[in-house]
């Protein structure tokens, strides 16, 4: 199973991950970057007065391998 990790820098320069519950596993860099830019440009997310999605840092897929025991 692959999960998409979108990493932004908050107003203080600290990394903040956004992990969508549902995301296609074959998105291109251009599509993901555009979506992240749109999210950043909304400028509506903050926590304790600190903007969470101030700058785009990176995006990656993380693949998890499950090994059932029983």
Burial of 14 (0-12, 13-18, 19+ CB in 10 A): exposed
> Per-residue confidence of the chain (70 residues) as pLDDT tens digits?
889 999 999 999 999 999 998 889 999 999 999 999 999 999 888 899 899 999 999 999 999 898 999 9
Looking at residue 43, its pLDDT comes to 86
Looking at residue 23, its pLDDT comes to 83
pTM of the model: 0.84
Phi and psi (nearest 5°) for 43? 55, 45
Report the 10 Å Cβ neighbour count for 27. 14
> What radius of gyration, in Å, describes the C-alpha atoms of the chain?
14
């Amino acid at each position: 199973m692959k999960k998409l990790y979108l990493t932004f820098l908050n107003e203080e320069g600290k990394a903040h991950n956004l992990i969508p519950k549902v995301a296609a596993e074959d998105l291109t860099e251009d599509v993901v970057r555009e979506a992240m830019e749109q999210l950043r440009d909304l400028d509506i997310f903050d926590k304790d007065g600190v903007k969470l999605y101030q700058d785009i840092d990176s995006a990656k897929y993380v693949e998890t391998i499950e090994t059932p025991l029983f």
